[in-house]
Chain A
Amino acid sequence: EAGVAQSPRYKIIEKRQSVAFWCNPISGHATLYWYQQILGQGPKLLIQFQNNGVVDDSQLPKDRFSAERLKGVDSTLKIQPAKLEDSAVYLCASGPLRVTDTQYFGPGTRLTVL
């Protein structure tokens, strides 16, 4: 079974630029999560989708971050414009609908904002 795929794996941009990350969850997983992991900290949930609907985006800085999950499969997370404090690893995870406490994580995208 293929795992959660993310791209790119690394991205370096300058502040005020835009960036987008892509996630392909495990086939059949209804739930998809985006986390932000700042160096030395645990992951923090940014947004949670169930199929193509948003379940929780209470921690998403909506003035600059946006996310979508078209057709309930792939998802993109965008930052526009980026700030220095957005430097982090962005993790995508997916999980089956019936086993709600199980999440499978992708390898992450490491973003550096200069």
Chain B
Amino acid sequence: GDSVTQMEGPVTLSEEAFLTINCTYTATGYPSLFWYVQYPGEGLQLLLKATKADDKGSNKGFEATYRKETTSFHLEKGSVQVSDSAVYFCALFKAAGNKLTFGGGTRVLVKP
């Protein structure tokens, strides 16, 4: 079945550091790929998405490129802030079944 694998956290960074969170997936067909973010005490929010190979999703300084050849969708941000401290989830969506499949999440802690 479909699955998403993320790097385990926690990832601890200093403010203004570069952030990368690795995400790889296993799926048949052509899924859409997503990054969701969960801030403390809040629900999941869509951060960015890409619907086909080589698409780049971007939002709030975060970027991720859909790489079909490596089945990856790594999340990057050039300069993190304390407010970026959260749990980040990679997910894939298959239109057949209308189903989101999530990775295990990566906790990011940014220190001032």
- Which parts of A68-113 form the interface with B (CB within 8 Å)? 91, 93, 100-108
Q: Once bound together, how far apart are the Cα atoms of A102 and B99, in whole Å?
A: 10
Q: Quick one: CB contact mask for B81-112 with A, threshold 8 Å, 1 for yes?
A: 00000000101010101111011110000000
| Complex contact B43–A103 (CB within 8 A) | no
| Pair A40/B104 contact, Cβ less than 8 Å | yes
- Say whether B102 contacts A43, CB under 8 Å: yes
Q: Are B95 and A41 in contact (CB under 8 A)?
A: no
**List of A residues within 8 angstroms of B100 by Cβ:** 33, 43, 45, 101, 103
Most chain A Cβ neighbours within 10 Å, of B45, B49, B51, B100: B100
- The answer to whether A42 and B91 touch across the interface, beta carbons within 8 angstroms, is yes
B43→A106 contact, CB < 8 A: yes
- Asked if B42 and A56 sit within 8 Å, CB to CB, the answer is no
Shortest beta-carbon distance from B38 to chain A in Å: 9
CA A40 to CA B103, docked complex, whole Å: 10
Question: Is B4 positioned at the interface, with any CB of A under 8 Å from its CB?
Answer: yes
Residues of B within 8 A of A55 (CB): 98
Kindly list the 4 A-B residue pairs having the minimum CB-CB distance in the complex, ordered from nearest: A42-B102, A105-B43, A105-B44, A101-B93
